[in-house]
């Protein structure tokens, strides 16, 4: 039994973080658009109606499956630290707000490049729903109302952000309309002149001038230098399937390392949601995160070869390091480094797994005057430890928690899924993979299943829907079990699509957040 029904359709399906975004994506599919057209239509609406999670001043990562070529391309739409960044400005730490926390936004460039490569409708049609919601307004959800109220102090520290999200001098109440006319104008400029105007056109000039007036570092040269990375994805095999993930600077390699270690273990026989299975997965997670922290960085500046991380001998070594009791601290091994997610599949079998973010809630809490563009605070994703491969440096990209997943059976997609949730992402994606693949759960069952989350040490947070005997079993293995609510947002807000052998699509959306799946 699930709280929400599994959505099934034969012509196309969209599962996103907001019902208005799902509707926009579905309309694009009905108009003859591709999976990419629908994904960008939905993503753009999310950038308007979910400003606490994403914005065109943020970043995007996507995996795109081309049914004709039977290949997956990884799009890295993340930007670098500005050339003028001064790490001494963060001698007391990064803080939680301000224009100096922004890296170059990569979102719009990635949208444009994906549409050039795989789109059918044109950027003007794809952005039309988002422009409408920005110009005419949309009804504020209960969640967004609460988020604006919770972040009131941060937003009020920037006059433009304060006016943008609290136009009446207070946070909008659920059901009140929120308009963003400056953002609508910026989206119209992109729709008219193309994505390039954000980086090398009139909009770029206004953006750079506005950032400079606020005391920020991103200038016209930083914007003009930005390019989307198109790369082959990374992958591992799990139970006979190909699990495809995002290459660095995404931490997609963490999920693949987790699955590679788990491949040599019989998780299914341990029982779904059992203390033994959860303990084993948590200890695997600790190993993969330790390797991430020791090795991962921007591959343009840091030697980091994922294939070595996933090599059989290395994985066997890590598998032997799984502790019988909860480990307080796990060492890395030497080698021989806020958000919303959506999944789309079109009637031709093309698929998109996409995630976008401004990092923290409302990013840097800074809106560039006259543009409506909310900037990310992704610079805080760097380390200030000079020994770290992820140390802050000009022109370097921080390691991203953002990652997406496509699971292939041979060369055909079987599952398209992902979740927001910072460091929970690869943990929840691990749990989804085991539920979908090892235990054959329906997508909605897998999305709704109780989840665990591990941050550090022996503390293990679990949703209260896990039975008491499971929690006691985990405590007996040395975990300091902390019980969360029934549906804990800290564990993410997943969306998932399964493609059945007969071509029917099944979609699931997470009740932990505002996600909705729909098809036709």
Which sequence positions are flagged as catalytic?
Answer: 339
465 and 272 Cβ atoms separated by less than 8 Å: no
Name, in order, each residue with C-beta under 8 angstroms of 467's C-beta and a sequence gap of 6 or more. none
349 and 337 Cβ atoms separated by less than 8 Å: no
229 and 246 Cβ atoms separated by less than 8 Å: no
Between CA 482 and CA 489, with CA 485 as vertex, the angle to 5 degrees is 100
d(CA 436, CA 499): 12
| Exposed e or buried b per residue across 265-301, where buried means at least 16 C-beta atoms within 10 angstroms of its C-beta | eebeebebbbbebbbbbbbbbbbbbbbbbebbbbbee
d(CA 174, CA 177): 9
Check the CA dihedral 261-262-266-271 and report its sign.
Answer: positive
Q: Which of 137, 141, 146, 130 minimizes the C-alpha distance to 178?
A: 137
CB count, 10 Å around CB of 439? 16
Between CA 233 and CA 240, with CA 235 as vertex, the angle to 5 degrees is 140
Q: Which of 80, 115, 70, 110 minimizes the C-alpha distance to 244?
A: 70
Between CA 503 and CA 507, with CA 505 as vertex, the angle to 5 degrees is 165
E-strand ranges in 216-303 read 229-231, 234-238, 241-245
d(CA 96, CA 274): 38
Alpha helices in 296-385 (DSSP H): 306-309, 312-320
Which phi and psi (to 5°) does residue 519 adopt?
-150, 180
Preceding omega of 240 cis (within 30 degrees of 0):
no
Task: Print the SS3 string covering 132-160.
Answer: HHHHHCEECCHHHHHHHHHCHHHHHCCHH
d(CA 137, CA 133): 5
Instruction: Pull the structure tokens for residue 93.
Output: 């730490």
Cβ-in-10-Å burial (0-12, 13-18, 19+) of 257 comes to: buried
């Amino acid at each position: 039994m699930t709280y929400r029904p599994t959505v099934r359709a034969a012509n196309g399906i969209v599962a996103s973080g907001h019902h208005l975004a799902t509707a926009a994506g579905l309309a694009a599919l009905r108009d003859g658009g591709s999976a990419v057209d629908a994904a960008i239509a939905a993503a753009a609406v999310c950038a308007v109606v979910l400003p606490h999670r994403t914005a065109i001043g943020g970043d995007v990562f996507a995996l795109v499956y081309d049914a004709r070529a039977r290949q997956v391309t990884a799009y890295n739409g993340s930007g670098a630290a500005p050339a003028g960044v001064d790490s001494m400005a963060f001698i007391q730490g990064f803080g939680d707000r301000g224009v100096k926390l922004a890296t170059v936004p990569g979102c719009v460039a990635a949208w444009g490049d994906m549409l050039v490569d795989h789109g059918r409708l044109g950027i003007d049609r794809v952005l039309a729903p988002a422009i409408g919601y920005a110009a005419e307004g949309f009804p504020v959800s209960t969640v967004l109302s609460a988020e604006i109220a919770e972040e009131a102090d941060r937003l009020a520290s920037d006059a433009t952000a304060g006016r943008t999200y609290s136009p009446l001098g207070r946070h909008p109440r659920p059901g009140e309309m929120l308009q963003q006319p400056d953002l609508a104008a910026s989206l119209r400029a992109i729709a008219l002149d193309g994505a390039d105007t954000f980086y090398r056109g009139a909009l770029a000039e206004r953006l750079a001038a506005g950032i400079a007036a606020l005391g920020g570092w991103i200038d016209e040269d930083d914007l003009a230098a930005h390019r989307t990375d198109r790369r082959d994805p990374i992958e591992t095999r799990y139970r006979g399937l190909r699990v495809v993930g995002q290459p660095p600077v995404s931490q997609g390699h963490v999920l693949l390392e987790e699955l590679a270690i788990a491949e040599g273990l019989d998780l299914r026989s341990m029982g779904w949601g059992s203390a033994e299975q959860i303990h084993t997965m948590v200890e695997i997670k600790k190993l993969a995160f330790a390797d991430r922290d020791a090795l991962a960085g921007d591959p343009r500046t840091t030697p980091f070869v994922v294939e070595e991380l996933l090599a059989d001998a290395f994985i066997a070594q890590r598998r032997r390091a799984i502790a019988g009791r909860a480990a307080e601290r796990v060492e890395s091994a030497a080698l021989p480094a806020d958000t919303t997610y959506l999944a789309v599949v079109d009637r031709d079998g093309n698929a998109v797994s996409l995630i976008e973010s401004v990092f923290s809630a409302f990013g840097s809490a800074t809106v560039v005057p006259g543009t409506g563009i909310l900037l990310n605070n992704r610079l805080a994703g760097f380390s200030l430890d000079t020994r770290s491969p992820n140390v802050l440096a000009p022109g370097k990209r921080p390691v991203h928690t953002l990652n997406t997943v496509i699971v292939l059976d041979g060369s055909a997609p079987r599952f398209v899924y992902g979740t927001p949730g910072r460091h929970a992402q690869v943990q929840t994606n691990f749990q989804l993979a085991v539920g979908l693949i090892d235990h054959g759960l329906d997508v909605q069952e897998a999305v709704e299943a109780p989840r665990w989350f591990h941050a550090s040490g022996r503390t293990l947070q679990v949703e209260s829907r896990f039975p008491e005997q499971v929690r006691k079993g985990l405590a007996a293995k040395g975990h300091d079990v902390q019980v969360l609510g029934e549906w804990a947002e800290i564990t993410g807000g997943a969306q998932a699509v399964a493609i059945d052998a007969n071509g029917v699509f099944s979609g699931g959306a997470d009740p932990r957040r505002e996600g909705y799946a729909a098809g036709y």
